[in-house]
Structure 1
Amino acid sequence: MELRKYQKNLINKVRQAYLKGYKSPCIVSPCGSGKSVMIAEISKKATAKKNRVLFLVHRKELKDQIRETFEWWGVDLDYVEIGMVQTIVRRLEKTIPPSLIITDENHHSLANSYKKIYKYFPNAKLVGFTATPIRLNGGGLGEINDKLVIGPTVSELIEWGNLAPFKYYAPEIIDTSKLKVRRGEYVSKDIEDMFENKAIWGDVIKHYKKLSDGKQAICYCSGIKQSKRMEKEFNENNIVAKHIDAKTPKSERDAVIEKFRRGEIKVLCNVDLISEGFDVPDCNTAILLRPTQSLALYIQQSMRAMRYKEGKTAIIIDHVGNVGRFGTPDMEREWSLEPKKGSNNTIKEENPVKQCQECFYTVERNIKVCPECGFEFGQEEKEVEQVESELVEIDSIAGFTTDYRKPEDCKNMGELYKLAKHKGYKPGWAYFQGKLLGFVK
């Protein structure tokens, strides 16, 4: 029950923000950084002073999880109300006025239900938690929050051993420009129609076998029909899979997750269920079959496999080109309370990465030889660039990741120079390390 250094630092920054007159700070910290224990620690400090805490969640599955965390952390639950936003907003007059309102997944806080609760308790201080402080339509959180408290980056958490390093594959680039958008998200029916293409479905099985055969995976689908079909496809290929969704009875869902925990199920197929805050056992692979315009959803799903485990390298298989809209999960992003310019939450820019045609590994555009399989990029590169340029026209892409953290992990000078850039070192450091490792004669 010891907080990590960066967790203590974030909590202290929130306290300092209150002392400086801020009333509604928002902690921005990546998935897997331990937001639950930070929430528990803030609640413990508040309830120790007999101050009431109202903790808001947007899904019923999260209530029991956070209650268990509070009990484990020693929070005085006599002074805590854990409630779904949809419930609290209907019984405001019956809710004991809180001194502190904590909002989980704070990027939802601009919804009218949240704002109604905040307005009803004007004397309460607020604190929010999110990995992505931005609305789906690009709007900032300045209407609710008055300060962002920025936590460590994904790259730092990987380097410190708090998150697993990862490899990102995008075997299919799909043109989402033809999809209709409703309320800021792709229309589910159009997504399912697009996945009628059998070649795409076949690639899901092929690339799982090639990139993560026998390892546990969570497969994110665009609809129940698609998720059930993927369950069938995996099982027909002797890969034990199971579908669950929000309508699956809780007892059945719990049983499926327990089997997944024991390794009896290899692939867990779902539709957005195992995303924000949902507690599932550690897995090695995330399979993305759902094109999305939501950065929050993309981050939650792509990073699901990145929980740290000794010797583990997470595998992210992106069949829908989400990396083309948002970049890799470890991309450093500049957050602001102000809305982004334009209608999107991203900025268009040149695509800085390309795919290996042999193994589909994502590499920087200037790489000549794939560090994963040794494929030499040649004349075929132009064809790949044309496909990727179409993707850039749909949305933005930025970021590139490696799964090495120290010089000894690198296979060549290109990886050493990338590692130097990642750590903020000068190229001379990479050159010196290359001489030590025998890469430079």
Structure 2
Amino acid sequence: MIPLRPYQQELVDNIRRAIGQGRHSVCAVLGCGGGKSVIQGNIAASATARGNRVLFVVHRKELCQQITNTFTACGVDFSLCTVGMVQTVCRRLAKTPEPKLILVDEAHHILSQSYLSILQHFPGAVVLGFTATPQRMNEGGLGAVFEELIESVSTEWLIQNHYLAPYKYYGVQLADASKLHTKRGDYDKAEVEALMNKRAIFGSAVENWLQLAKGKQTIVYCSSIATSEGTAAAFREQGINAMHLDGTTPQAQRQAAVEGFRRGEVTVLCNVDLFGEGFDVPDCDCVVLMRPTKSLTLHIQQSMRSMRTNPNNPDKVALILDHVGNFTRHGLPDDVREWSLESKAKKKKQELSVKQCPNCFAVVKSAVQECPYCKYVWEKEEREGPEVVEDIILQEVARMPYSKHIECKSWAQLELFRSTHKRADGKIFKFAWSLHKAVQLGLAVPERYRSAAIRLLRQDEYRRLKFE
């Protein structure tokens, strides 16, 4: 069995305590690179050792073999454990042995109907979900499924304690996403493709990489197949061994490219929605973000892909090159975030948008392109594309974080820092940030903030907090 790190064992103990107190479904939160699969493997091994059947659900086929390898190393008894992709499990529910424990990887997907079908089919099973971002876009928290949220250590803590590599983040809003429309919660893929399919964007991406990350093993996240192929071609024009991969790439070709990347024969991998959740590439030193997104989950997963530690390079500093300004929407990878199981309040439906036909004066819906009465056709307005910016070099957004605030010697100084400084993305530090820092720095907090600390801190953090 793979031994757990102290913070991983603490999370397992907290999960067991919650189940012992009668919780039937628990969501565990741990940042990317914190070792969720090893924790899951240890829990599964413990369950199967007691004769309990386990069902482990992933959302992508490529992750099945990866998690199977980890579970094998953890000593899981596979005669009592099924690892399956959610769609496959859904189709085979009648043939799937009833589990005592259901483990859900990347649990922010759990509100989708496929996952709910599995949970409804096995109502007696204990459900444990694991995620770095316990929310679903447009729906908020996951309280419709989970009874309790248990948070582990923060991303900042993982960096400070050398479980993740520190990073440098470079960015400028090269592509203007402000005029993009939204479909199903994220930017319209067709509009994103049109926005990014500009030669200047590709050229700037390569130029910045040559100046900031030359020679680094790099994963590039693109918005479409055409964009990814064009970006890979632009790298190759500069003599850099770059390849494009997407969901339609044959499995053998995809595997060969990934293995070439691991061996260092391929320097740059451009992809569309492949190397995100659950994909572990320890030799990735740099990520290039060329896909604007409204999804915090996607931003965190992609931007942190280069932050895994490398035993052969203990001084590694990860590089994140953001060409689309995602940091202005979501902040930096290690920003302190407050999670909750509560759902977002549903927005009131907006009044129906209408327009008047200039020919027959009929009133129709704004989306109508041809008047149903007189056949007048509205000409489509040309949307302005992004400004083509030549020869621009990304600027560092944050210079090696965790500096100034550590000089604070009291709660008053910490609060003064919070009130006079802003985060790298221009947003203010929230009160919870001061509480987290007080725990880390061992600073005493005024007694009047005890109730706030109970509400905003994890149990283990609250136990370490001092009051005056």
Give the TM-score of the pair, scaled to structure 1. 0.79
1:184 to 1:99, Cα distance in 2 relative to 1, 3 A: same
Q: Residue 174 of structure 1: CA displacement?
A: 3.3
Q: 1:316 aligns with which of 320, 335, 338?
A: 320
Q: Is the 8 A contact 1:260 1:281 kept in 2?
A: no
Distance in 1, Cα, partners of 2:120 & 2:25: 13
SS in 2 for 1:140: coil
Output aligned runs, 1:182-261, within 5 Å.
182-261=183-262
SS in 1 for 2:234: helix
Q: Is the 8 A contact 2:228 2:270 kept in 1?
A: yes
Q: Is the 8 A contact 1:325 1:397 kept in 2?
A: no
Residue 264 of structure 1 aligns with an amino acid whose one-letter code is E
Aligned partner of 1:360 in structure 2 is 395
Residue 159 of structure 1 aligns with an amino acid whose one-letter code is Q
SS in 1 for 2:79: helix
Distance in 2, Cα, partners of 1:58 & 1:35: 15
Residue 337 of structure 1 aligns with an amino acid whose one-letter code is L
1:358 to 1:57, Cα distance in 2 relative to 1, 3 A: closer
Structure 1: segments with no counterpart, 5+ residues: 344-356, 365-391, 400-419, 427-441
Structure 2: segments with no counterpart, 5+ residues: 348-391, 400-424, 430-436, 444-468
Distance in 1, Cα, partners of 2:322 & 2:98: 45
Q: Deviations over 1:213-245 (max 9, x none)?
A: 111110000011100000100000111100111
Aligned partner of 2:146 in structure 1 is 145
Q: Residue 73 of structure 1: CA displacement?
A: 1.1
Distance in 1, Cα, partners of 2:209 & 2:125: 49
Distance in 2, Cα, partners of 1:183 & 1:141: 18
Aligned partner of 2:272 in structure 1 is 271
SS in 2 for 1:191: helix
1:330 to 2:334 alignment:
yes
Q: Residue 425 of structure 1: CA displacement?
A: 7.1
Q: Residue 140 of structure 1: CA displacement?
A: 1.1
Q: Is the 8 A contact 1:326 1:398 kept in 2?
A: no
1:138 to 1:167, Cα distance in 2 relative to 1, 3 A: farther
Aligned partner of 1:373 in structure 2 is none
Q: Deviations over 1:309-346 (max 9, x none)?
A: 21100000000010011100000100000024576xxx
Output aligned runs, 1:93-172, within 5 Å.
93-172=94-173
Q: Residue 173 of structure 1: CA displacement?
A: 4.3
Residue 101 of structure 2 aligns with an amino acid whose one-letter code is L
Residue 3 of structure 1 aligns with an amino acid whose one-letter code is L
Q: Residue 246 of structure 1: CA displacement?
A: 1.3
1:55 to 2:56 alignment:
yes
Q: Deviations over 1:177-232 (max 9, x none)?
A: 21111111111111111123332222101110111111111000001110000010
Q: Residue 398 of structure 1: CA displacement?
A: 6.4
Q: Is the 8 A contact 2:27 2:149 kept in 1?
A: yes
Q: Residue 139 of structure 1: CA displacement?
A: 2.1
Give the TM-score of the pair, scaled to structure 2. 0.75
1:192 to 1:421, Cα distance in 2 relative to 1, 3 A: farther
Distance in 2, Cα, partners of 1:398 & 1:67: 43
Output aligned runs, 1:7-86, within 5 Å.
7-86=8-87
1:421 to 1:226, Cα distance in 2 relative to 1, 3 A: farther
Q: Residue 32 of structure 1: CA displacement?
A: 0.3
Residue 278 of structure 1 aligns with an amino acid whose one-letter code is F
Q: Is the 8 A contact 2:196 2:223 kept in 1?
A: no
| RMSD of Structure 2 on Structure 1 (CA) | 2.1
SS in 2 for 1:303: helix
1:138 to 1:211, Cα distance in 2 relative to 1, 3 A: farther
Distance in 2, Cα, partners of 1:219 & 1:105: 22
Instruction: Report percent identity of matched pairs.
Output: 47
Q: Residue 279 of structure 1: CA displacement?
A: 3.3
Q: Is the 8 A contact 1:52 1:99 kept in 2?
A: yes
